[in-house]
Structure 1
Amino acid sequence: VLQAGPETWPYQRPQIELDVEDMVRVVQSRAGAGSADLLKSSSPTLTALGRLTKSLNDEAKLNHLGRAMMRRYLHQRLEARVQLADERSKNPAINQEEIRRPVFIVGLNRTGTTLLHRLLACDTAAFAAPRTFEMMCPVDTSQDADRYARPPSSDPRYIETQLAVEMAKETVAQFESIHPTAAHLPEEEFFFFEGAFLSHSFAVMADAPSMRKWLDDPSTKTQTHMAYLEHCERLQ
C-alpha cells in the first residue's frame, strides 16, 4: 500500500529525526567512564556528527525508510566509537602497542587498489589487515571465555556485519559488481573515518552537499588529522 499509494495509508507514520542529542542519550545509557569526553557536546566527534545530521536533515530528502536506515547506521557508528573509547580506558596497555612500518595503498578509484589490498592481506605472516567485521565492530563485547580462540564465522560481530552486508546488497544491488563486500574481507579505511564522522562515505549514501563541502575545505584538515589518529587507535 505504501509503495502503490502512500497517501492512502490510513495510519500516521512516526517521524524519524536524525538528532544528535537523541543518539547520545541512547548510547550514554550503556557507555562507561572512558567515553565521557567523547560524548560532550563540544567534542570534535559530536561536532562532526552534528554537521552531518544537519546536512542530511536539510538536504538529503530521505524517504521514511532511508531516514530509519541512516539513523540506525549513525547510531551504530557512534556506539562502536564509544565502545572503543571505553575499551582503551579499561585496558591502557593498548596505547603502548606500536604500529611499525604501516603500508599505505593510494590510488584513484577503479584502478585496482582494492584488489591489491586484498592480495597483500593474503600474506598474513607479513601483513595484518583488519577485516570488515573488525572495522565495523572493533570491540568484542561478548563475555565468552573462548572468544579469542573461536573462528571468525562464530563471532557475533561477524554475524551482525554479514547481515548488514547482505542488506546493503539488497538495497543497492549494483554495488557488489563495483566493489565486492563480505564480513571476512579486508576493507578500506572509510569505516575507521566513519567513527569520527569525517568520511565521505556518508555523502555517498545520501545527497549531503554541505557536509561534502566541509570535508573538502582545507580548514578541516585538523579534523581530518584527528580522523587519522582514530584510524591508528583502531589498528592498535
Structure 2
Amino acid sequence: MDIFHERPSWLRRLNQFGPATGDPRHIVPLDPGEMLATARSSTGLVEVGDEDWLETYERRIRSIDLESKSNLLGRLLCRAETIRLLQTRLRLCKAWANEPAILEEKIERPIFVLGAPRTGTTILLELLALDRNLRAPISWEAQHPIPHGVAVDPESAMALAEAEHEFWMDIQPELAALHELRSDLPCECVHFMALEFGGPYFAMHYETPSYDQWAMSRPEILPRTYRLHRNFLQTLQYGNERKPWLLKSPAHLMTATALFAEYPDAIAVHTHRDPQRFVGSAASTTAMLHWLRSDDLDPVVYGQLALGGFSYMLNHVMEQRQAGELPNDQFVDSQYLDLIDDPVAAIEKIYDRSGLDWPVGHSDRIHAYLRDKPKGKFGTHRYSLDEYGLNEESVANTYAAYVDYYGISREP
C-alpha cells in the first residue's frame, strides 16, 4: 500500500514467514475454543460470566480467521489481544464474584465526548481530564485493569501497556501524528468494550463481513456491550472516590441510542468539524489501522466509508435529536475551530451546559498543556482526498445538511 511509508525491514521479513508456509494461518492459529482454554489455564480461572456473549466472541474470531486477509503480524496481534481480553474478563468475573458490591456502584451523569474521527475528540478529552474532579479511564487501566481482590501489579500493568504502544509505533511510526500513545493518557472506551467482542475495536482493525452481517440481526449485542461498559467503570470506581466519569469514542455516535439506554443521565459532548478536513483524515486513519495487520487493502473502500458511513452516522444522530429520540438537551455541541481559537472558552461552555464547577487554576492548566503539546509535535498527518477516491465536491454534497444544521465554518 504505497500511500504509507514502507514497513520496517524486520517486519517485512517476519510477514514473509506467512506465505513461505502457504498461509499465515499455519503459523498463528485463531481458534476461539483453544484461546479461551489458554486464557483459563494461564489464569487458573474458569468463570466468564453470562455465556450469551460466547457466540459473539466465536463468530467474531472465526470471521477474522477466515475473512480478514491478515498477515502474520495481524494474526499475532489478534491472538495476543484476544487472550489478554479473555484473561481480563476472567479476572473481572472473579472480582465481581468475590465482591458483589462492585456491581452496585453508581455511575452518575457520565460525560461522553463523541464525534466523527479527526474532529478534536482526543485533545478535548485530554484537556477535560486535566480537571482533578473528573475521572477518565487511563490507557493502562483499560488494557490491564486491576479488579478489586485480584493481585495484579500496577507498575507491571503500566509497563505492559507502554510496551504495546511502543510496538505499534515501531510498526507504523505515522501513528504518532494521529495520536500520542502513552500508558498514562486517557483512552477511548473501545479498548475495554472489546471485552464483549461485540464492540467496535476489532472492526477498526479487521474486515469481518460475515460477522457484520450476523450482528445486524442481533439487537441484544449493543445493550450487553454497554452493560459491560458500566460494569468496567464500576470496577475501576469501587473503593475510590466517586467522580463524574469522562469518556470518549467516535464509535459512540453509531450507538447513541444504546448509550442513553444504559446511561439516561449522560452528557454528550458532540464535536463538529469541517468535513473537508476530517473526511480524508478519517479515511487515512481507518486505512492505516487496517494496514497494520493486512497487506490486502483498497484505499477507495476506506474513502467510501468516511464519505458515506460517517455522513449516515452524523445525519442519523441529527435526525434523532430533532425528533426527540435522543435527549437533545443533554447534548453540548463543540466546534473544532472554537476549540482551536479559544480552548478555555470552548471548554467553559461545556462546563456551563454540563452543570460543572470551573476548578481553580483550570485555565492555566489548559494553556500549559497546549504549550507542551502543540499541533504537529509528533509529525504531520499527510493525506489527500484523491488517494481515497474522494474530491471536495463529493464531500460538500454528501455533508451539506450536516454542515448547514450545525453551522460549521469552512476551515482555511
Residue from 30, 33, 44 that aligns with 1:18:
30
Could you say if the C-alpha distance between residues 183 and 168 of structure 1 is closer, same or farther in structure 2, counting changes exceeding 3 Å?
same
Aligned mates of 2:86, 2:124 — CA distance in 1: 30
State the number of aligned residues. Answer: 218
Q: Kindly indicate whether structure 1 or structure 2 has the higher relative contact order, using CA contacts under 8 Å at least 6 residues apart.
A: 1
Shift of 1:102: 1.0
Report the TM-score, using the length of structure 1 for normalisation. Answer: 0.82
Q: Alignment partner of 2:220: what SS?
A: helix
Sequence identity, in percent? 26
Could you say if the C-alpha distance between residues 158 and 200 of structure 1 is closer, same or farther in structure 2, counting changes exceeding 3 Å?
same
Aligned mates of 2:197, 2:224 — CA distance in 1: 11
Deviates more, 1:109-118 or 1:61-70: 61-70
Report the TM-score, using the length of structure 2 for normalisation. Answer: 0.48
Residue from 147, 151, 155 that aligns with 1:142:
151
Residue 194 of structure 1 aligns to which amino acid in structure 2? A
Q: Alignment partner of 2:173: what SS?
A: coil
Residue from 232, 246, 268 that aligns with 1:234:
232
Summarize deviations over 1:135-170 as a string: whole Å, max 9, x none.
Answer: 111226436xxx7xxxxxx62111110001111111
Mapping of residues 103-118 of structure 1, within 5 Å? 103-118=111-126
Q: Would you say the 8 A contact 2:165–2:181 is kept in 1?
A: yes
Mapping of residues 35-54 of structure 1, within 5 Å? 35-38=47-50, 43-54=51-62
Task: Give 5+ residue unaligned stretches, structure 1.
Answer: 148-153
Deviates more, 1:57-66 or 1:46-55: 57-66
Aligned mates of 2:112, 2:27 — CA distance in 1: 43
Aligned mates of 1:9, 1:51 — CA distance in 2: 28
Task: Give 5+ residue unaligned stretches, structure 2.
Answer: 1-9, 235-412
Shift of 1:83: 0.8
Could you say if the C-alpha distance between residues 173 and 96 of structure 1 is closer, same or farther in structure 2, counting changes exceeding 3 Å?
same
Aligned mates of 1:229, 1:56 — CA distance in 2: 25
Aligned mates of 2:187, 2:116 — CA distance in 1: 16
Q: Alignment partner of 1:123: what SS?
A: coil
Aligned mates of 2:74, 2:193 — CA distance in 1: 22
Shift of 1:28: 1.8
Q: Alignment partner of 1:220: what SS?
A: coil
| Equivalent residue number for residue 196 of structure 2 | 196
| Equivalent residue number for residue 180 of structure 2 | 180
Instruction: Tell me how large the CA RMSD over aligned residues is.
Output: 2.8
Summarize deviations over 1:66-108 as a string: whole Å, max 9, x none.
Answer: 2122111111111111111111111122122111111122211
Q: Would you say the 8 A contact 1:80–1:138 is kept in 2?
A: yes
Residue from 110, 113, 116 that aligns with 1:102:
110
Residue 162 of structure 1 aligns to which amino acid in structure 2? E
Aligned mates of 2:105, 2:159 — CA distance in 1: 28
Could you say if the C-alpha distance between residues 118 and 15 of structure 1 is closer, same or farther in structure 2, counting changes exceeding 3 Å?
same
Q: Which one has the largest radius of gyration? A: 2
| Equivalent residue number for residue 27 of structure 1 | 39
Mapping of residues 36-75 of structure 1, within 5 Å? 36-38=48-50, 43-75=51-83
